[in-house]
A = this chain, B = another copy of it.
Amino acid sequence: MAEKFIVTPWEVTGDVDYKRLVREFGIKEIDAHLLKRIEKIAKGSHHFLRRKIFFAHRDLDWILDEYEKGNKFFLYTGRAPSGHTHLGHLVPWMFTKWLQDKFGVELWFQFPDEEKFLFKEKLTLEDTERYTYENMLDIIALGFNPKKTKFLVDTKNANLMYREALKVAKKINFSNVKAAFGLTNETNIGGIFYTAMQAVPAFLPSVLAGKNIPCLIPHAVDQDPHFRLSRDVVGKLGYYKPASIQCRFLPALQGATGKMSASEQETAVYTIDDPETVKRKINKYAFSGGRDTVEEHRKLGGKPEIDVSYQWLAFFEEDDKKLEKIYTDYKSGKMLTGELKQILIDKINKLLAEHQKNREKAKKKIGEYLVKG
């Protein structure tokens, strides 16, 4: 029974069939062999990898080959500011932080503050600039090394970026972006050009260093069309084609209908939500895999595979044994939905208490991360 779902950089709806995405996008699943290889080289394991939250890639094996030869890569990821940060956004960034630490590499973090301005009728550049600041606090709060982390803001670093974007743009025509993103004759000319700006951080560090450096892009899978389009172009410009490692979406509180949306307040938990709000949202909205009555639940057990609280714990509870026990207890009926939700609420509130403390401290640190030019 094929459900209809849509995954583009601007729209993710429906129950995403990740197996089908792998085929349609032409990406590769991370298999057991590659997983082991990453863990061996990283000298450590990440639950996002073990649990197939980061599940697919392009050329990751090549990135590891080069790394083993002593040819270090840099990381590139980003955030198109259009609202406050929610927990779904943190997922690729937490993993990026792990990669930075384990491989000891530079991260170039792009804030394409024009993207959502161009694609959302009512959003102004003043809005996206305000959210750039707010989002930066969340990224810094995750603990990225300021000596190895560079923030690129498209409108503020245009002197560095526009020139490089032009080289990309010259090799992509309107037919190409129509096919990749479903743009139309009614799409504005900024939106048509935009993908060229998103390609730039994949090779700008090579331009600035005056030598070719491999690039690895950790990102949520909906961004793949940008890099699918620009990989070949970056190659033709004489730089390495960027590699990528791609993650699933944290489901919306209401259940498996694609990714959480920052524009729909009640589908997401924000990094600035207070403990009471977190409690209320999870208790009120988190889709339950429990049974209609306690009696039935005790007898038949819950369904963790459709329970959003359980799925969120699969993202945020790092301890495999704890998670397994929750799974078993919930599935057997020993644990009730209310208890499961309470575990999630405690977990998220603990995570956010720490995050919000770091977020405050981040306000004084922004200058250390900004690229000049």
Chain A positions within 8 Å of B, measured between CB atoms, are 114, 117-118, 125, 154-159, 161-163, 165-167, 169-178, 183-193, 195-196
Contacts and interface: CB of A to CB of B under 8 A. Distances in A.
Contacts of A191: 169
Given A125-B163, A163-B125, A185 B173 contact: yes
Contacts of A188: 169-173
Nearest to A178: B185
A155 B166 CA distance: 9
22 contacts: A114-B162, A117-B166, A118-B166, A118-B169, A125-B167, A155-B166, A156-B159, A157-B159, A158-B161, A166-B190, A169-B191, A171-B188, A172-B188, A173-B189, A174-B174, A174-B184, A174-B189, A175-B185, A189-B192, A189-B195, A189-B196, A192-B192
Of the candidates A154, A155, A166, A195, the one having the most CB atoms from chain B within 10 angstroms of its own CB is: A166
A191 to B, nearest CB: 8
A168 to B, nearest CB: 8
Given A166-B190, A174-B189, A175-B186, 12 more contacts: A114-B166, A155-B166, A157-B159, A169-B193, A170-B190, A172-B188, A173-B185, A173-B187, A174-B184, A174-B185, A174-B192, A190-B193
Contacts of A196: 189-190
- Which 7 residue pairs are nearest across A and B when measured between Cβ atoms? A169-B190, A193-B193, A158-B158, A158-B162, A155-B163, A175-B185, A174-B185
A167 B157 CA distance: 17
Contact of A154 (B155, B162, B184): B162
A118 B168 CA distance: 10
Contacts of A157: 159
Nearest to A114: B166
Nearest to A174: B185
A186 B173 contact: yes
Contacts of A167: 125
A192 B173 CA distance: 9
Contacts of A158: 158-159, 161-163
A244 to B, nearest CB: 21
A169 B188 CA distance: 6
A114 to B, nearest CB: 5
Contacts of A117: 166, 170
Contacts of A166: 114, 117-118, 125, 155, 190
Given A114-B166, A162-B154, A172 B189 contact: yes
A322 to B, nearest CB: 47
Contacts of A176: 189
A34 to B, nearest CB: 34
A195 B189 CA distance: 9
A183 B193 CA distance: 14
A163 B155 CA distance: 5
A155 B161 CA distance: 9
A183 to B, nearest CB: 8
A36 to B, nearest CB: 41
Nearest to A128: B166
B163 A162 contact: no
Given A125-B163, A163-B125, A174-B174, A169 B156 contact: no
Contacts of A165: 190
Nearest to A373: B159
A158 B114 CA distance: 14
A182 to B, nearest CB: 13
